[in-house]
Amino acid sequence: MDSTTTLSDLRDAVDHFVGARNWYQYHTPKNLAMSIAIEAAEIMEHFQWREVGESSEAMKDPTLRAEVADEVADVLIYCLSFANATGIDLSEAIYKKLARNEQRFPISTTNGKLGE
């Protein structure tokens, strides 16, 4: 579905969910920042004791895969809520950041090395 779903489609779905429950009162930047971090930690729980390479293998298991997709969705839902609560345009922010990273990590010198 990613090829046909826009960021606004997802923002609208989250907006409807939050609004219908009268939850915008809790959706301040501070609370949502905590929420994003809490859900990010739940993704990590699935890989806490695994070897780095094994974590790729492990994702072939359909049960783990579904659980992890669910946690990644939670992080994204709170990011979409953050955008709705603050009016940030996410696509614009992402493209801007990628453009800046293109400058910071030139292809010619970076190839396979991690930059700072």
Report in angstroms how near the CB of residue 60 gets to a copy of itself at its nearest: 9
Residues 80-109 that bind a copy of itself (CB under 8 A): 80, 82-83, 85-86, 88-98, 101-102, 105, 107
Q: Does residue 61 touch a copy of itself according to CB under 8 A?
A: no
Q: Does residue 72 touch a copy of itself according to CB under 8 A?
A: yes
Residues 12-41 that bind a copy of itself (CB under 8 A): 13-14, 17, 20-23, 25-26, 28-31, 33-38, 40-41
Per the structure block, which two tokens stand in for 113? 């090395």
CA distances from 13 to 1, 4, 48, 65, 108 (A): 14, 15, 32, 23, 41
Q: Does residue 69 touch a copy of itself according to CB under 8 A?
A: yes
The H-or-E segment that residue 100 falls in is helix 90-104
* Upper half-sphere CA count for residue 67 (Cβ side, 13 Å): 13
Q: Does residue 67 touch a copy of itself according to CB under 8 A?
A: no
Among 62, 63, 103, 112, binds a copy of itself (CB under 8 A): 112
CA nearest to 82, candidates 20, 25, 33: 33
